[in-house]
Structure 1
């Protein structure tokens, strides 16, 4: 190292003591990402426009995809030889640690069997329960008490809000494989600035529900249809304080759930039709992004995406321009629904409220309706005896061309 100019007391033979490594600097992650992308670009990889962390190369049997999260890399290809070539290149360019076939990635447990892929966060869920003191609690059937409305005014303010913030942050990451708690966590996350004992009690209720099946996660069957189907719903003026509505949607690729959201809308809707129309706009934007992502993965859907909505008036607004007088106050960006319908990207279909799968993303449901909602999400408990347990899956485990890599 070269001593900085103006350094006082410089003597011959002096050495610098390193106080902070490169990993501690703010620009370290950006420089690493630029270097990694540059190295992969030299091998012919192209960065996806829909997701900058995804890089692809080739086509057909020589297709290979790389998913990057800082220095954790997931490689997928139908050709194992392509993966071996890439790993040899990365090992020559950087020092990497080959973690073998896909097992754990970013805290998500993955098991590949003859029937398909199962993703869960059992260890992460058990860590949350153990840290919160709920590892031996009595489980419940729903993450929220039906009919219970949370507000900022109820309860006594917590003296230490850091524990509540940490708990909600960990639950938010758990929703990556647990869409059944998405609405409950969305409601609780609204009060992280000024939580009360009532909010903490509601958060503990979610932990009681997680204890029932900590190994529950998503299942993706093999050879599924490349057809996008979405369910869009909203709960009009459900927030008692702001009177804003909640948007909820879920998107399936064949029978596999690949995207979902439970989020409060940005503005107040004047009617339930407007709230449903705004939810449709959010769903259509998600479908457009998923279409681009699938094209980059060379898995282009063969038919237009089908969107199911339980509001006939919202469908009429999207398909019929005669309703201009009723919708001229709605933001222009919401009318993306009309544009995509006319382009043939999506097809709107009506569905009854009792068959609306996205209903569980907009409101609390009674036990029977909540169990029906969970059954439609394609969720399975990998560690339950009915599925052979973890050992049963390990016996079925076969080597697949999915390889996680840690680069250093």
Structure 2
């Protein structure tokens, strides 16, 4: 049962659980000396603040805790006065998949940490003033004072950046090296000891073969920041992680069921594919949706996009529907129920990182020429495997119109090459041995000839130079493009809606399994 979360502080104080959560948060703010009570200097304008209340649930749906967080109204900050730089990296989902696949093959430990009030550990360089938060008990003489912030607070534009800088300096002092491929990844390799640490704001994943080093970094982080040790990795960013002798399974069962419940589709009839192959949508056909329905459409498509992190079989369908979020129309809305009915067929479906796999990097690439009715742009699709494990995939519209199907395939090949370059760089930083050249499977002989032929000729002179990185990487021995029949092209479902039988056949060749069937009795 979902508990209603209060929207304001006045609503929350009627419930002792929320009052307890507020007092706990205020204690943490005071203990970390987040502010000083001062008189507001002339010419300064204090920013506001508010309480945000959230019920945290476990993966089984039971309540974990009531959480209250004081958030500064950072949208009122002025650039150049209240803040300067704001950027802070977070872990890429692909990096998470790569680490899980390596952990499965190498039988590494997998642990998770949560940093308590992470943003409060960042030091502020700017002078920022905030009004007194509701619930803060102060001396009556201080009623007209304001809080001069000394630490970054949730909601401040620079808060995440300051926290990440503090964490980075701490990890580097412990001997960790920051990855250049993904700045949120930290690696320590010393003799036979290997540890990798991945950061997503205040959630941390630790993996490696040395439990003593994992415990050592946990203890140091707890002394420096105060952490919550969540033990073995089981639930991360809404993704459920289950481990067995077969490998590591990642799915979003709880998230998918909540989505279906919110849309009233739990009792719907399951579908065998997310889109009908004959479906043709455009920006002009059909009536525009009313604003409230358009907002609901955008929200639902956004939620479906997050589900694609563990459901490559949904990638094209969701990407296709996302192209119309600016001005959704009736036909776009009518296409969504089939996607939901397809999810209903197997809500626990996800990807399996096999424990019995090699670590060779290879990919499949494909394109659907001029598939967009409005712009006549083509759609690129690829899927990248690390051994048997699927670690990266994409379905995206190309930036320019291709003059031929060969050109569209060649552009898709260029996108895949870029992804392989990034992944190979990250695997090298993770001290993994990669066998070159990397195999890329393509079903277009013309695109393969373009990639292999160094001579500029009539068919390729109009193609942008950046696409010819494929040819350069083939000549360097980094890449080898091989032909594969269309019937065996695993990237085909990432470029268009295919027939049910073809879709089912190709999807079964991807490591997509339902947690209920794959790891039953073995978790």
- After TM superposition, the score normalised by the length of structure 1 is 0.92
Q: Return the structure number with greater relative CO, CA threshold 8 A, min gap 6.
A: 1
Report if aligned partners of 1:228, 1:254 keep a CA contact under 8 Å in 2.
Answer: yes
* Aligned partner of residue 306 in structure 2, secondary structure: helix
* Aligned partner of residue 275 in structure 2, secondary structure: coil
Q: Report Cα offsets for 1:163-212 as digits up to 9, x if no partner.
A: 11110111111000000010000100000011112111112211110000
- Is 1:356 aligned to residue 356 of structure 2? no
Number of the residue aligned with 1:122? 253
From 281, 296, 307, the equivalent of 2:429 is 296
Displacement of 1:12? 10
CA distance in 1, matches of 2:146, 2:42: 17
Number of the residue aligned with 1:140? 271
Number of the residue aligned with 1:399? none
CA distance in 2, matches of 1:97, 1:203: 39
* Aligned partner of residue 24 in structure 1, secondary structure: coil
Report if aligned partners of 1:309, 1:351 keep a CA contact under 8 Å in 2.
Answer: yes
Q: 1:124 to 1:12 in 2, by over 3 A?
A: closer
Number of the residue aligned with 1:5? 41
CA distance in 2, matches of 1:6, 1:255: 65
Q: Report Cα offsets for 1:81-129 as digits up to 9, x if no partner.
A: 1110000000000010011101001111001111210000000101111
Number of the residue aligned with 2:341? 208
* Aligned partner of residue 455 in structure 2, secondary structure: helix
- Is 1:30 aligned to residue 161 of structure 2? yes
CA distance in 1, matches of 2:142, 2:280: 67
* Aligned partner of residue 432 in structure 2, secondary structure: coil
CA distance in 1, matches of 2:376, 2:456: 24
Report if aligned partners of 1:59, 1:298 keep a CA contact under 8 Å in 2.
Answer: no
Q: 1:388 to 1:173 in 2, by over 3 A?
A: closer
Displacement of 1:62? 1.0
Number of the residue aligned with 1:66? 197
Q: 1:59 to 1:284 in 2, by over 3 A?
A: farther
Q: 1:18 to 1:138 in 2, by over 3 A?
A: farther
Once superposed, which parts of structure 1, at least 4 consecutive aligned residues long, lie more than 3 Å away?
15-21
- Is 1:53 aligned to residue 89 of structure 2? no
From 313, 318, 324, the equivalent of 1:180 is 313
CA distance in 2, matches of 1:76, 1:50: 18
Number of the residue aligned with 2:332? 199
* Aligned partner of residue 370 in structure 1, secondary structure: helix
Displacement of 1:61? 3.2
CA distance in 1, matches of 2:204, 2:507: 31
Report if aligned partners of 2:244, 2:519 keep a CA contact under 8 Å in 1.
Answer: no
CA distance in 2, matches of 1:319, 1:125: 44
Greater share of helix: 1
* Aligned partner of residue 365 in structure 1, secondary structure: coil
From 257, 260, 264, the equivalent of 2:393 is 260
CA distance in 2, matches of 1:300, 1:18: 53
* Aligned partner of residue 220 in structure 2, secondary structure: helix
Displacement of 1:263? 0.4
Greater share of strand: 2
Displacement of 1:321? 2.3
CA distance in 2, matches of 1:18, 1:4: 9
- Is 1:346 aligned to residue 479 of structure 2? yes
Q: How many residues align?
A: 388
- Is 1:221 aligned to residue 350 of structure 2? no
CA distance in 2, matches of 1:99, 1:175: 25
CA distance in 1, matches of 2:356, 2:178: 26
Number of the residue aligned with 1:111? 242
Report if aligned partners of 1:248, 1:263 keep a CA contact under 8 Å in 2.
Answer: yes
Structure 2 regions of 5+ residues with no counterpart? 1-35, 45-138
* Aligned partner of residue 231 in structure 1, secondary structure: strand
**1:321-336 alignment runs, 5 A limit:** 321-336=454-469
Q: 1:388 to 1:276 in 2, by over 3 A?
A: closer
Report if aligned partners of 2:474, 2:480 keep a CA contact under 8 Å in 1.
Answer: yes
Number of the residue aligned with 1:234? 367
Number of the residue aligned with 2:412? 279
Q: 1:13 to 1:230 in 2, by over 3 A?
A: same
* Aligned partner of residue 4 in structure 1, secondary structure: coil
**Alignment root-mean-square deviation, CA:** 1.8
**1:80-99 alignment runs, 5 A limit:** 80-99=211-230
Displacement of 1:19? 11
Number of the residue aligned with 1:398? none
CA distance in 1, matches of 2:249, 2:326: 35
Q: 1:134 to 1:58 in 2, by over 3 A?
A: same
CA distance in 1, matches of 2:509, 2:442: 16
Displacement of 1:325? 2.2
Report if aligned partners of 1:230, 1:307 keep a CA contact under 8 Å in 2.
Answer: yes
Number of the residue aligned with 1:14? 142
* Aligned partner of residue 154 in structure 2, secondary structure: helix
From 363, 376, 379, the equivalent of 1:243 is 376
